[in-house]
Amino acid sequence: MFLIDMFNKKTTMPEPQHALKGREAAFPTSSHHFVNGRPLQGPFDGAMQRVVFAMGCFWAAERLFWTMDGVSVTAAGYQGGYTLNPTHQEVTTGLTGHAEAVLVVFDPQVVTLETLLARFFEGHDPTQGMRQGQDIGTAYRSAVFASTSEQQAIAEAVRERYRQQLQQAGRSSSVTTEITLGGPFYYADAAHQQYLARNPGASCGLRGTGVACVL
């Protein structure tokens, strides 16, 4: 296979019938959040809401949210594709359709979805399509996977607001962020959970546009 063919495969969503099949059994992951000690997979308090963000490398993306007041739990994982219980290696081939993603469980009485969305849009470059910096492929696309139609509508409104703000700042206003009602979220294995807290010397090249998302 030519290098250009490999590149194109990674940057094009696979057809469902051509995606890797995966497996029925979920991979084990951490039982508790490394930073705050809360159960990583719940049960979550009934007052909490869930939203999933994809914005490139999930190591740095997860850290953006666990530092916020009102965020109870974050977790690294995969969403938006077709493969059952994918591995990290499978996701990065582009053959699963999944994006590296971060589950955010939050208390809407303390932090609003709009505030989380502002952190999301400011924390990466949502104009790059199937890439984020040097990370190239469908796994690194920008996406919001909403839990409800109300969340989806709020995310669409903030996306449009940020598109206008990028345009006013003289930046590309072609925001490629996918916003949809989320399907299954698959937890990444324990080694990827709260990675930058477990490995203080590690880095992850996530960069924003420098344009504030003003709500």
Q: How many angstroms separate the CA atoms of 176 and 126, rounded?
A: 6
How many CB atoms neighbour CB 168 within 10 A? Answer: 10
Q: By three-state DSSP, how is residue 122 classified?
A: helix
Nearest alpha-carbon partner for 22 in 76, 102, 93, 75: 93
12 backbone φψ class: left, alpha, beta (φ>0; ψ -120 to 50): beta
Query: Over the Cα atoms of the chain, what is R_g?
Result: 17
CB atoms within 10 A of CB 2: 7
Residues designated catalytic: 57
* CA proximity to 34, closest of 209, 156, 200, 213: 200
DSSP state of 95: S
C-alpha to C-alpha distances, 84 to 13, 78, 97, 98, 186, nearest whole angstrom: 16, 10, 11, 10, 8
What's at 180, amino acid-wise?
T
